[in-house]
Amino acid sequence: MSSRLLIALCFVCPVVLLSSGCASITSGKNQPLSVQSTCAGEQIIGADCTLTNNKGQWFVQTPGSLVIQKSYGDLAVECRKEGLAPTTGTFSSRSNGGVWGNLIAGGLIGYAVDASSGAGFDYPTQLTVLFQPPCPGADAGGTVASP
């Protein structure tokens, strides 16, 4: 191997590893989400939803937005609306790019930090929870409004 190639690799490799960063630093532990609910394809307005993972519990009324703490585990969503049967949904956490960079740069310890804090994982940013028909109270436009 030529000395120039060796010098180039010694310079480039650390720069690439350091620029990938740690997910805890680059993406943080919190994530904004939007939550909506539907019944038979029509938007439900005013459903009360509870979002839960192993980091906490949050509340939102649909359609609405909130910020939650990310986690390695799934996000469970339970929604209730008068006149409709309660419904639930589960949304999987997926690893983001920062966790893989940290695995390379920080090894198993770096990965463990991102997994335990949730920073290395993301949920879908738009969550849709489905109520099952029948959908009483739909107006002419199909939107189920609050009583």
Quick: pLDDT tens for 23-45. 444 457 899 999 999 999 999 99
Domains of the chain: 3-131 (2.60.40)
Mean pLDDT value of segment 32-60: 96
By mean pLDDT, which of 31-45, 76-90, 129-143 is the weakest?
Answer: 129-143
Residue 107: is its pLDDT beyond 70? no
pLDDT at 4 (0 to 100): 59
Residue 10: is its pLDDT beyond 80? no
Mean pLDDT value of segment 8-15: 45
Instruction: Retrieve residue 18's tokens.
Output: 């350091």
Quote the CA–CA distance of 113 and 55 in Å, as a whole number.
14
pLDDT at 44 (0 to 100): 95
pLDDT at 145 (0 to 100): 53
Mean pLDDT, the chain, whole residue set: 75
Quote the CA–CA distance of 124 and 120 in Å, as a whole number.
14
pLDDT at 98 (0 to 100): 53
Residue 132: is its pLDDT beyond 50? yes
Quick check: bond before 32 cis, omega within 30?
A: no
Q: What's the whole-model pTM score?
A: 0.67
